[in-house]
Amino acid sequence: MDFQRVGVADLILHNGKAPSWLIKRMVRLGSTIVKLIIDEYGHREFLLRLSNPVWFQALSCALAYDWDSSGTTTVLCGVLKNVLNQQDLGVKAVGGKGKLSQLSLNEIDGLSKIYDFSEEESKRLKYASRMTAKIDNVAVQAGYRLYHHTMFISDDGSWAVVQQGMNPDLKTARRFHWLSGSFKSFVVEPHSGIIGSVVHNSVLNTVAKDSEEFRKLAVDLVKDGTERLRRTLLSIRVEGQEALSKWMTGLTETPIIKAYKVDPKSVNWDSLKKAYENAPNNYEELLAIKGVGPSTVKALALISELVYGVQPSWKDPIKYSFAFGGKDGIPFPVKRREYDEAISFLEDAISKAKLGSRDKIEALKRLKNYASKIQLV
């Protein structure tokens, strides 16, 4: 499958919820699609597709959900969790929207019993769940606070994460995709894809390759102790504050970087003190410390750039994708009869495949190959 096609999708905050008649059909059709993929290609391929924003968006549209709604993520993940957790397909899902996302670690414990994961494996999965959320809430700062986190876990311990944040000012969402085994470090270009509608001019991206020098310096700054950090932060002139250079000649005015808005009171100094005591060996270990949040990382970035001349990356890491569809009647209303016929066709295909007949499976493949040659105008 070609995952290189890209475009644009607006994930807009929409009110309301998907009607029950649509959810029931999404579950039925989603169930048959998931079964087909896992039967044909295996668990790893299914996780790979979930980790790709284009395919994820296309699946949502195939199930007739809004093409541009923030609910694309929450509803589809909810449907997939329903499909996977009610059947023995070798893949389960944990987490969800709001309070459900906070249950992820407890649900991993339950899943460890089902798949007989070792204590070490269970800890590894919990760590991945926490770190993926920490990275997208703290290490990448574009104004999107996570409110949805779903982790898909296979019986061999591999996983994919789909999580979403909302920008309250713009009322738009940004979705983050992860896949185990596809990155070497949680803090160096770890995402398999990011989708949203806005490219921001200034995004503090401390997991970019270009931020390597900052990551090293941030650890060194923490090891210097909190008091030195506090003094340094308080000595930096804030935006709007007048400088002595206004009245005196021969003085160079301290530069102000407007992307930084750091209130020393918002920095969790207790977490930095804990970090100093624990002496993290690298940036990932620093981020993993409880209490190290957005303001703390931004303060370290500010000191790094203004005092030591080490600038982290400010390039937005977003990638675009495209899709179309819609429960709201865009580009056309959901045709229930055709929807039910598609479900019946796929369910029958799976039934026949289990009996050894692969005619309809092969027909689906031929249809896919034919459709891929059609040029959309």
Query: What tokens were used for 280?
Result: 């993290």
**Helix crossing, 104-115 with 119-134: angle to 10°?**
150
For residue 54, the model assigns a pLDDT of: 79
For residue 250, the model assigns a pLDDT of: 52
What size, in residues, is the chain? 377
Look at the block and give the residue holding tokens 């995952």: 3
H, E, C per residue of the chain: CCCCCCCCCCCECCCCCCCHHHHHHHHHHHHHHHHHHHHHHCHHHHHHHHCCHHHHHHHHHHCCCCCCECHHHHHHHHHHHHHHHCCCCCEEEEEEEHHHHHHHHHHHHHHHHHHCCCHHHHHHHHHHHHHHHHHHHHHEECCCEEEEEEEEEECCCCEEEEEEEEECCCCEEEEEEEECCCCCCCCCCCCCEEEECCCCCCCEECCCHHHHHHHHHHHHHHHCCHHHHHHHHHHCCCCCCCCHHHCCCCCCCCCCCCCCCCCHHHCCHHHHHHHHHHCCCCHHHHHHCCCCCHHHHHHHHHHHHHHHCCCCECCCCCCCCCCCCCCCCCCCCCCHHHHHHHHHHHHHHHHHHHCCCCHHHHHHHHHHHHHCCCCCC
Look at the block and give the residue holding tokens 């700062």: 141
Q: Return the closest-CA partner of residue 132 out of 109, 104, 157.
A: 104
pLDDT tens across the length of the chain (377 residues): 444 334 334 444 445 566 777 778 888 888 988 998 999 899 999 999 999 987 888 788 777 545 445 577 888 999 999 999 989 999 999 999 999 999 999 999 999 999 999 999 999 999 999 999 999 999 999 999 999 999 999 999 999 999 999 998 888 889 999 999 999 999 999 999 998 878 888 899 999 999 999 999 999 999 998 888 888 887 775 555 444 444 445 545 444 444 566 777 778 889 889 999 989 999 999 999 999 999 899 999 988 988 888 999 999 998 643 332 344 544 445 556 665 666 676 667 666 666 566 666 666 666 555 555 544 43
- Let me know if 132 is exposed, middle or buried by CB neighbors in 10 A (0-12, 13-18, 19+): buried
For residue 67, the model assigns a pLDDT of: 43
pTM here? 0.78
Task: Provide the residue type at 293 as one letter.
Answer: G
313/213 Cα distance (integer angstroms): 10
139/133 Cα distance (integer angstroms): 10
Spell out the residues 6+ positions from residue 316 whose beta carbon is closer than 8 angstroms to its own.
142, 199, 200, 201, 203, 205
For residue 365, the model assigns a pLDDT of: 67
For residue 334, the model assigns a pLDDT of: 53
Query: What tokens were used for 370?
Result: 């034919």
Query: What tokens were used for 266?
Result: 């918002």
